Amino acid sequence: MIGYICKYTPVEIIQAFDIKPNKLEPAVLNFDNADTLMHSTMCSYTKAVIEQCINEKIDKIVLVNCCDSIRRLYDILKNDKTIQYVYLIDLPRKSNTCSQKLFYNEIVKFIKSLETLTNKNFNIEKLKEIINKNNLYTESQNIKNDSLDIAFIGARCKQDLINLIQKYNVNIKYNTTCTQNHINYTFNNNNILEEYCKQLLTQYPCMRMIETQNRHDMILQDKQLDGIIYHTIKFCDYYGYDFADIKSKCELPILKIETDYTLNSEGQLKTRIEAFIESIKNKKTTNSSLNKFKSTNINLQKNNRCITAGIDVGSTSANVVIINQNKETLSSSIVKTGAKSIEGANKALDEALTKANIIINDLDYIVSTGYGRISVPFANEEITEITCHGRGAHYINPDVRTIIDIGGQDSKSIKLDDKGNVKEFAMNDKCAAGTGRFLDMMAKTLEIDLSQMGKVSLKWKNDIVISSMCTVFAESEVVSLIAKNTEKSDIIHGLCNSIASKTITLVNRIGKEQQYMMTGGVAKNIGVVKCLENKLKSSIIIPQEPQIVGALGAALIALDKISSSK
């Protein structure tokens, strides 16, 4: 078996030597081994390949020199005594006649290398047989009539990510990521090997190739597409330019996701993808059901009443809102999530039911949201917090166009249209900086009650700058400031300002648009709110209880569901 990573790898030639080609799709927990062999800021994919080779004892691999990181990977593997065979194919950056000749020579050299490795002679007829067999293979996909058509483009990705996207009734109409090979070989002359090399080189280009001007034409000209998901790898700059190019040309909804080939990002990826798909589906849905719901002639449930609940299970709190058919709030609750999200969810629901003087059987529909939404067994449906915050904020104030949600675990910026549908959103990465968790840790360091931080920050006199956005390094800065007898109010103001700075980058990514509303627990911190207003040069609407906006949106969506089913 020989591992490979690039779509320009001549896998059929490998098969012609009776060797099984194994496309490497690393999924690792950390880069402990790789970080000792290369710089920590190197491409996370190359580091993941090193980890996979070490963990799975892969001793034969063929690489294509698509970038500096892969060349560095080759150097490392070449000097590893556990690797029996490593080969680097030189890929021309163009696909003209001269480049085709160069690539042909490279493949001939690769064939000679395999002959030495296997002690076998290359058989051109066997190559032709394998190519014909591969051409007959087509991967069938069960596509439903109501599925969304998505183009999945950008950098290489794991099959698990593709499976996750398809899970939501999505048809990936185009997959043009840099590892996806779309060749159906045809031969019109007697030189099969030469023609094979030509077609391998001139396939749909990856970003390493120079001639990429027509790279997105096929996608941009398709009027039936519903949206685009663009995948990038951390520390890979190639695709940043490509993403900016297609975004400037395309009017379709587009979601950019970034992974580092570890398993630690799956929760946030799931939220991003779900929210993106929800926003597309909401735009495709006609207004008829919503207008029906807004009228007073709706069909009510048992006893002329309809009661729904929304439950938002976050990292720090579980929030519940219960409403009736008139959208009147019957009760709400906010409790700590605790060590297990299901326990927090149960406690929050029990408290809200008690306040409303009803039992769970009186609820006609329950929608769960938040990062713990999948852990609520009594919910009828789960919806992302991005969609729910948009629905709740629009109900509270229809003029809101930008939502800033800072919770315990993550921060989000959400842009709405005039109907409350999510137009675009941005989330922070897997980092506590700029979140409620960041403030909680700083409060403990400063020995101050978290609820008092905002008020204390308003008394600042000297504008302290907390330069480190990392929670760990920021804490070190705070400790140093304490040692210098810096006023507590000045330090807290600096912390609030640093959160505001990080949050503004999320707002800028989707584009500033008034009116602004802030939701989540951090909206109760007047210091952060004031710093944000100063940077936005605009006032921010703060709901009466900002922590339950997501749960309110979930309850309203539950009511929509009942109405639309009538």
10-residue mean pLDDT profile of the chain (566 residues): values are 93 95 86 86 87 92 91 93 94 91 96 96 92 65 68 84 87 83 75 91 82 74 90 77 83 86 70 89 56 37 77 91 95 90 92 95 94 89 94 96 87 92 83 70 86 91 75 72 87 89 90 94 92 94 95 95 74
Ranges in the chain annotated CATH 3.30.420.40: 296-398+550-564, 403-544
| CA gap 93, 100 in Å, rounded | 10
> What is the C-alpha separation between 351 and 320, in angstroms, rounded?
9
CA angle 350, 353, 354 (to 5 degrees): 85
Q: Residues spanned by CATH 3.40.50.11900 within the chain?
A: 148-284
Report yes or no: 151 and 229 within 8 Å, Cβ to Cβ: yes
H-helix segments, 447-487: 453-457, 471-483
What per-residue confidence (pLDDT) applies to 285? Answer: 64
Residue whose token pair is 């008829």: 288
**Residue 396 backbone phi and psi in degrees, to 5:** -65, -45
Structure tokens at 94: 């163009």
Please give the Cα distance from 388 to 390 (Å, whole number): 5
Q: pLDDT value at position 552?
A: 97
Sign of CA dihedral 266, 268, 272, 274: positive
d(CA 427, CA 406): 10
pLDDT of 311 reads: 96
Residue for token pair 């409620």: 436
Give Rg (Cα) of the chain: 28
CA dihedral 518, 522, 527, 528 (to 10 degrees): -60
What element of type H or E holds 65? none
DSSP 68: H
Task: Report which of 371, 373, 381, 380 is spatially closest to residue 405, judged by C-alpha positions.
Answer: 371
- In our burial notation (b when 16+ CB lie closer than 10 A, e otherwise), range 379-400 reads bbebbbbbbbbbbbbbbbeeeb
DSSP codes of every residue in 145-176: TTPEEEEEEES---HHHHHHHHTTTEEEEEE-
Q: Of 208, 234, 4, whose CA–CA distance to 91 is shortest?
A: 208
CATH architecture type of domain 2-123: 3-Layer(aba) Sandwich (3.40)
Task: Domain 296-398+550-564: give its CATH superfamily.
Answer: ATPase, nucleotide binding domain (3.30.420.40)
Return d(Cα 388, Cα 313) in angstroms, integer: 12
What b/e readout covers 98-110, taking b as 16+ CB neighbours within 10 angstroms?
A: ebbebbbebbeeb
Arch. (CATH architecture) of 403-544: 2-Layer Sandwich (3.30)
**Residue 559: what pLDDT?**
94
Rounded-to-integer distance, Cα 407 and Cα 547, Å: 8
Q: Is the separation of the CB atoms in 206 and 177 below 8 Å? A: no
Question: Could you confirm whether domain 148-284 is CATH 1.20.1250.20?
Answer: no
pLDDT of residue 181: 66
pLDDT recorded at residue 259: 80
Q: What is the DSSP string of 251-300?
A: -S-EEEEEE-SBSTTHHHHHHHHHHHHHHHHHHHS-SHHHHHHHSS-PPP
Say how far apart CA 14 and CA 17 lie, in whole Å: 5
Burial class (CB in 10 A: 0-12, 13-18, 19+), 469: middle
**Where does the chain hold its CATH 3.40.50.11890 domain(s)?**
2-123
Phi and psi angles of residue 123, each rounded to the nearest 5 degrees, phi first? -115, 110
Q: What is the pTM for the complete model shown?
A: 0.75
Q: What is residue 140's predicted lDDT score, i.e. its pLDDT? A: 41
d(C-alpha 173, C-alpha 321), whole Å: 39
Q: Which two tokens stand for residue 291?
A: 């207008």
Query: Is there a cis peptide before residue 141, judged by omega within 30 degrees of 0?
Result: no
